[in-house]
Amino acid sequence: MCGIFGIVKEHEGPLGETLVGAARRLAYRGYDSVGCATIDASGKIDLRKDVGKIDEVNERLNFNEMRGQRGIVQLRWATFGSPSQENAQPHLDSDGDLVGVHNGNIVNHVSLRDRFLAEGMTVRSANDGESIVHAVEHYVDRGETMVDAIRAAAQDLQGDYALIIASNDVTGSDGALHAVKSGSGLVVGIADGATCVSSDLPSILPITNKIIRLQDGEMVSLWPDRIELRRLSDGEIIEREPEVFTEGMEAAEKGGYAHFMEKEIHEQPKAAAELIHWLSASPFVPQFLDALSSARHLYFVGCGTSYHACMIGAAYFNRIANIPASPVLAPQFTETLAPILTSDDAVVFVSQSGETKDVLNALKVVRPTGAKILGVLNVIGSALMHLSDHYLPLACGYEISVPATKTFLNQVVLFLYLADKLRVHGAKIDWDEIPEIIERTLVSTKEVAREAANILNPYDEMYYLGYGLTLGVAMEGALKLKEITYAHCEGMLSSEFKHGPLSAVHDGYPILFVTAPDDAAMMVNHINEVACRGGRPIAIACEDGLLRKHVREYIPLPDVGQEIATLVAVLPLQLISYHMSIERGIDPDFPRNLSKTLTVD
């Protein structure tokens, strides 16, 4: 997830160290390249950027020596265009008069880029951030002021983003930094003799704690001694008093949540919206779909949480797209299936980090078979990205907490999206509705999930049961519980429970059933087997009178169909694990013995 920061000072002077300091404060969001631009009092722009970590790029390019009155820094987390010097931000317009950065995705950047080239502009990179500069350039060249040009350009830019842009014109009302919020976060800081703007608070707090939060659809112009906030739509000035932020830096990084896990759980509606936007505009999706639909057999290969997403993904492809697809754990795939692949098959490797050794081992044995290698990953620039014939990003930004939450949800969103594109059974999904359904599920299950966590907390071993599509969800919920509560929880097929584990049931023993609507009648049989032996069944399901009659506790999902219920059912399971972890005094972000990226066999 990129980060942006800009500052305007009263007097020209050393700005480099301030920009590097701000970049360090934004680094927790994750990035692969970094760039700074300063503008001095005469309007001269100094721009330096490259791939790498802040300190190593600073050592090479000496950001520290940069001087000016206005400065911008950007940390880039690649989604459009690989991590490279030319794709790094900031970007210049054709003549080097404007300099700008963005955070987020400009989803129509491919068509905008064609338009800019047709207009004779100089486009230097494959990065969507360059589009914001040319979009403003288009209107400035037609004589608009910076403010009007930015307002007009914002109409042309589609996606969720925030931007900062400045012109080298130091006359008239310019000499300002301008920023827009349209879907991504943006906060303004007001200090003595300086103002600044950033993606979030940690980079502002060392400078000032007087802040103004922008809303979507607003822009701000900053001078050293004042700011002007206005609505993008009609240019109307907005009066908003600054607030004084009194909490510490750590609270600022966690965006007001107690832990990164809680923050990342609540980021899911937004992360899904960004992914859906991205997929709907990406030229990579048709290539990926071609490879999927022409395969004789599809294998979905991953480990841990990513494997659970593979289970759901393969089931979506079987049921929705009529394509034979099997989920396989990566090491097992290496040992048993890879040797029998042919060039007619395709393997979808799924990994948040893109660096999991078990996954890369499996990929290595697939290469000589000629089967297509497709990657689904969150970390752009990872080994999996480079080794895949085609790849799709999860577009989640940085996931800090060790337990995967938003990356799992976006893996499932991505598989459902692709299966929906190849659909032969059932009705097409209205993708505009999905982020709101995710948000609604988080809100409506919040309290019941906390109550369920209280019921489960006294137990140190338990079962989560799923059926059909929801088996992968039950297994993912169980993994989340094991990871951050240190209790044992087995996720399994509800119909298998009677073949042995049923003997664990005793008076009051809680068992959680994750059910999609079409499976409710079958699940009632499995619930009864537990209930009649004194067990305490808890259901996670869309509203169903019959199910409700047979369980003690009910965690209701919104009234959505089979496919979407499967997608959102993981949300209360994430919340249950989180609450139990806190109750047990465990830090869910850093559970013992675990690491976010497993580069060992």
Q: Minimum CB separation from ligand F6R for residue 89, in Å?
A: 26
Q: b vs e for 321-355, b when ≥16 Cβ sit within 10 Å of the residue's Cβ?
A: bebebbbbbbbebbeebbeebeeebbbbbbbbbbb
Helix (H) or strand (E) holding 219: strand 218-223
- Do the beta carbons of residue 306 and residue 351 sit within 8 Å? yes
Which tokens belong to 593? 């013995």
What's the rounded Cα separation, in Å, for the pair 560 and 105? 29
Q: b vs e for 383-415, b when ≥16 Cβ sit within 10 Å of the residue's Cβ?
A: bbbebbebbbbbbbbbbbbbbbbbbbbbbbbbb
Binding residues for ligand F6R, total number by CB under 6 A: 14
In the window 399-428, what residues touch ligand F6R (CB under 6 A)? 403-404
In the window 313-352, what residues touch ligand F6R (CB under 6 A)? 351-352
Residue from 53, 357, 482, 596 carrying the catalytic annotation: 596
Q: Minimum CB separation from ligand F6R for residue 49, in Å?
A: 28
Nearest to 529 by CA among 503, 554, 552: 503
CA dihedral 203, 205, 208, 210 (to 10 degrees): 110
Q: Minimum CB separation from ligand F6R for residue 349, in Å?
A: 9
Pick the closer one to ligand F6R by CB: 282 or 306: 306
DSSP per-residue string spanning 556-601: EEPS--HHHHHHHTHHHHHHHHHHHHHHTT--TTS-TT--SS----
Pick the closer one to ligand F6R by CB: 269 or 403: 403
Q: Does 598 bind ligand F6R (CB under 6 A)?
A: yes
Q: Minimum CB separation from ligand F6R for residue 569, in Å?
A: 17
Q: Does 445 bind ligand F6R (CB under 6 A)?
A: no
Q: CA angle at residue 294 from 432 to 346, to 5 degrees?
A: 90
Q: Minimum CB separation from ligand F6R for residue 404, in Å?
A: 4
Q: Minimum CB separation from ligand F6R for residue 280, in Å?
A: 24
Which of 305, 441, 445, 581 forms a contact with ligand F6R (CB under 6 A)?
305
- DSSP code of residue 237: B
Q: Does 483 bind ligand F6R (CB under 6 A)?
A: yes
Pick the closer one to ligand F6R by CB: 337 or 394: 394
Pick the closer one to ligand F6R by CB: 46 or 483: 483
Helix (H) or strand (E) holding 226: strand 226-231
Q: Minimum CB separation from ligand F6R for residue 305, in Å?
A: 3
Pick the closer one to ligand F6R by CB: 210 or 482: 482
- Taking CB atoms, the residue at the shortest distance from ligand F6R is 304
What's the rounded Cα separation, in Å, for the pair 243 and 66? 31
Which tokens belong to 576? 């249950």
What's the rounded Cα separation, in Å, for the pair 451 and 380? 39
Pick the closer one to ligand F6R by CB: 34 or 383: 383
DSSP per-residue string spanning 141-194: TTT--HHHHHHHHHHH--SSEEEEEEES--STT-S-EEEEEEBS--EEEEETTE
Q: Does 356 bind ligand F6R (CB under 6 A)?
A: yes
Pick the closer one to ligand F6R by CB: 356 or 566: 356
Q: Does 359 bind ligand F6R (CB under 6 A)?
A: yes
Nearest to 74 by CA among 193, 190, 162: 162
Q: Does 33 bind ligand F6R (CB under 6 A)?
A: no
Pick the closer one to ligand F6R by CB: 49 or 480: 480
Q: Does 197 bind ligand F6R (CB under 6 A)?
A: no
Q: Minimum CB separation from ligand F6R for residue 576, in Å?
A: 14
Q: To which residue do tokens 């990406």 refer?
A: 282
Which of 38, 89, 306, 494 forms a contact with ligand F6R (CB under 6 A)?
306
Residue from 2, 196, 303, 542 carrying the catalytic annotation: 2
Q: Does 478 bind ligand F6R (CB under 6 A)?
A: no
Nearest to 552 by CA among 535, 565, 576, 572: 535
User: Is 2 an active-site residue?
Assistant: yes
Q: Does 89 bind ligand F6R (CB under 6 A)?
A: no
Beta strand 536-542 pairing with 510-514: parallel
Which of 304, 397, 466, 591 forms a contact with ligand F6R (CB under 6 A)?
304
What's the rounded Cα separation, in Å, for the pair 388 and 456? 42
In the window 244-303, what residues touch ligand F6R (CB under 6 A)? 303
Pick the closer one to ligand F6R by CB: 58 or 410: 410
Q: How far is CA 380 from CA 1, 249, 375, 500, in A?
A: 11, 28, 11, 44
Q: Minimum CB separation from ligand F6R for residue 593, in Å?
A: 12
Task: Tell me the catalytic residues.
Answer: 2, 596
Residues that bind ligand F6R (CB under 6 A): 303-306, 351-353, 356, 359, 403-404, 479, 483, 598
